Amino acid sequence: MGDQPDARRNTLPTVSGAAARVEVVQTALASCHLETLGDTLPESLKPEATAQNTGRKRPNLRLGLYFTPVRNGMDYLAKAVDDLTECTPPSARSLKYAVLHLQAATEVLLKARLVGEHWSLVYDDPRVASLKEFQKGNFKSCGIEATMDRLTEIAAVNIAPADRVAINNLASDRNALTHYGHTADAFLIEARTARVLSFLITFIENQLRPMLEAKFQEAFRNASEESFRVTPANVYKVLESPEVAHAQRETNEVINTMGDLRLKLGRVEKLVDSRMKEISGELAPWKHCTVLCPHCLQWALVVNSDGSFNPIKCHFCLTVYNNVELAAIDYAMHVVGEENGTVVECSKCQCETVVIGANIANDKDSDIAVCFNCADIYTHSHPSSAE
Ligand SMILES: [Zn+2]
Ligand SMILES: [Zn+2]
């Protein structure tokens, strides 16, 4: 094969926000059995079909329209990361605001996940929960401690003891910074902030985002049932219905903010230190096939070593490449550099995934050619059939 990435294969970007949005919609459409163009709309609009399709009345709670914390939470989180990355190390003032924003983000996003389980769970006392009052936002919500208890015990969300402590301590950290300024304690606070940030990123990817995507699909299904069947003609109408549009906005908010954050995470010094330490155990067996992640530029992208074509993941920022060939191209362009990066076919696994000029974690200084699909290393002559 030639030594240029095959543009025709480059059809399914899997990591950008726009692509993820498309994927969400596509998944929803797939799960709602979108009628093909061959199906005729009049058939679906027959009176009996209409009655059948709208016969099942679903409760229309419109929860999201009244309780919309996700956008705020992601906004606080973005601000916290901005505070932390403004200068290195962060000034006392930025650190204070980072703590404030991160504390708000944590509380709001944990509660959003709890509402996803059931709205009554964010009541300070669920026994007096009233849907009407909840929808008006007129109720006393539970504290961060109770939120974590309920997430763990009711929603089976795993919160490590060290993360709990760090989250609980954020409030006192803020007070310390307000009253004593930037002292030696600031380093501890910085580390703790990094710890909570690290926790939140994993929480958002593993808990919040899947929940929001499921909500979007559910809203889409409900709206489709209300408007008979989803057809190419009315799919946009369904997407524009308030519940669906809201669910989609919240999902997009998370996807877009996370996309922006990934670019900045590598700059949060303490976060990098503590998170790299945290994941060093899981990365240890894979040093021979770990490369720099094009997104966060940490040594945490573990490529395939078995020729399986499986998705590959960065253990630091949790970016997943569903297509290993695109990962190789992304790496060649953003890590090796547009002019130097070349991707060629692997003679062992026959996949176009050998990046020339790459570096691997157990030999960071040598430029080698490594296959992102089978981890085969070409040291002497690269596999390009140039000669
Ligand atoms: Zn990464
Ligand atoms: Zn290979």
Structure confidence by residue, pLDDT tens digits, 292-301: 998 887 899 9
Question: 141 has which bridge partners?
Answer: 123
- Is the pLDDT reported for residue 17 higher than 50? no
3-state SS record for 239-281: HHCHHHHHHHHHHHHHHHHHHHHHHHHCCCHHHHHHHHHHHHH
- Give the residue carrying structure tokens 């040291």: 379
Torsional sign, CA 375, 379, 380, 386? positive
Residue 24 lies in a domain: no
Q: Indicate whether 353 and 213 sit together in one domain.
A: no
Residue burial 30-49, b: 16+ Cβ < 10 Å; e: rest: eebebbeeeeeeeebeeeee
Exposed/middle/buried for residue 143 (C-beta within 10 Å: 0-12, 13-18, 19+): exposed
Q: Indicate whether 87 and 186 sit together in one domain.
A: yes
Residue 306 lies in a domain: yes
Among the bound ligands, the one closest to the CA of 314: 1
pLDDT of residue 361: 95
Q: Cα of 88 to ligand 2 centre, how many Å? A: 40
Residue 307 lies in a domain: yes
Q: Cα of 348 to ligand 2 centre, how many Å? A: 5
> Which residues, 6 or more positions from 297, have their beta carbon under 8 angstroms from its beta carbon?
266, 335
Q: Indicate whether 292 and 255 sit together in one domain.
A: no
Q: Cα of 219 to ligand 1 centre, how many Å? A: 32
Residue 276 lies in a domain: no
Q: Domain count of the chain?
A: 2
Q: Cα of 292 to ligand 2 centre, how many Å? A: 18
Q: Cα of 349 to ligand 2 centre, how many Å? A: 4
Tell me which residue of 140, 206, 200 sits closest to 170, measured CA to CA: 200
- Is the pLDDT reported for residue 12 higher than 60? no
Last residue of a domain, one of 265, 299, 325: 265
Sheet of 320-321: strand order equals 290-292, 299-302, 312-314, 320-321
Note whether 307 and 348 are within 8 A (CB).
Answer: yes
Q: Cα of 322 to ligand 1 centre, how many Å? A: 14
Q: Indicate whether 106 and 254 sit together in one domain.
A: yes
Q: Indicate whether 326 and 242 sit together in one domain.
A: no
Residue 15 lies in a domain: no
Q: Cα of 283 to ligand 1 centre, how many Å? A: 13
37 or 238, greater pLDDT: 238
- Is the pLDDT reported for residue 41 higher than 80? no
pLDDT tens-digit map of 235-270 = 777 788 888 888 888 899 899 999 888 878 877 877
Q: Cα of 277 to ligand 1 centre, how many Å? A: 15
Q: Indicate whether 92 and 216 sit together in one domain.
A: yes
Note whether 320 and 347 are within 8 A (CB).
Answer: no
Tell me which residue of 309, 315, 318, 308 sits closest to 286, measured CA to CA: 315
Q: Cα of 171 to ligand 2 centre, how many Å? A: 50
Q: Cα of 125 to ligand 2 centre, how many Å? A: 57
Q: Cα of 371 to ligand 2 centre, how many Å? A: 5
59 or 318, greater pLDDT: 318
Q: Indicate whether 322 and 222 sit together in one domain.
A: no
Q: Indicate whether 210 and 246 sit together in one domain.
A: yes
What is the extent of the structural domain holding 119? Answer: 63-265
Q: Indicate whether 217 and 323 sit together in one domain.
A: no
Q: Cα of 129 to ligand 1 centre, how many Å? A: 42
Note whether 10 and 329 are within 8 A (CB).
Answer: yes
pLDDT tens-digit map of 122-150 = 999 999 999 888 888 888 999 999 999 99
Q: Cα of 288 to ligand 2 centre, how many Å? A: 14
Residue 334 lies in a domain: yes
Q: How confident is the model at residue 16 (pLDDT cuts 50, 70, 90)?
A: very low
Residue 46 lies in a domain: no
Q: Indicate whether 302 and 260 sit together in one domain.
A: no
pLDDT tens-digit map of 162-204 = 788 888 888 777 767 666 555 546 667 777 788 888 899 999 9
Q: Cα of 276 to ligand 1 centre, how many Å? A: 11
Highest mean pLDDT out of 6-20, 209-223, 301-315: 301-315
pLDDT of residue 221: 84
> Which residues, 6 or more positions from 33, have their beta carbon under 8 angstroms from its beta carbon?
230
* CA separation for the pair 312, 14 (Å, rounded): 11
Q: Cα of 262 to ligand 1 centre, how many Å? A: 7
Q: Cα of 2 to ligand 1 centre, how many Å? A: 29
Token couple for 128: 């007096």
Question: 243 has which bridge partners?
Answer: none
Residue 31 lies in a domain: no
Among the bound ligands, the one closest to the CA of 350: 2
The SS3 assignment for 370 reads strand
Among the bound ligands, the one closest to the CA of 266: 1
Q: Cα of 304 to ligand 2 centre, how many Å? A: 9
Note whether 292 and 359 are within 8 A (CB).
Answer: yes
pLDDT of residue 78: 93
Q: What is the dihedral of CA 359, 365, 367, 371, to 10 degrees?
A: -20
Among the bound ligands, the one closest to the CA of 347: 2
Q: Indicate whether 255 and 287 sit together in one domain.
A: no
Average pLDDT over residues 63-87: 79
Q: Cα of 293 to ligand 1 centre, how many Å? A: 4
Q: Indicate whether 163 and 256 sit together in one domain.
A: yes
Token couple for 271: 């976060």
Q: Cα of 312 to ligand 2 centre, how many Å? A: 14
Last residue of a domain, one of 231, 265, 299: 265
Q: Cα of 278 to ligand 2 centre, how many Å? A: 30
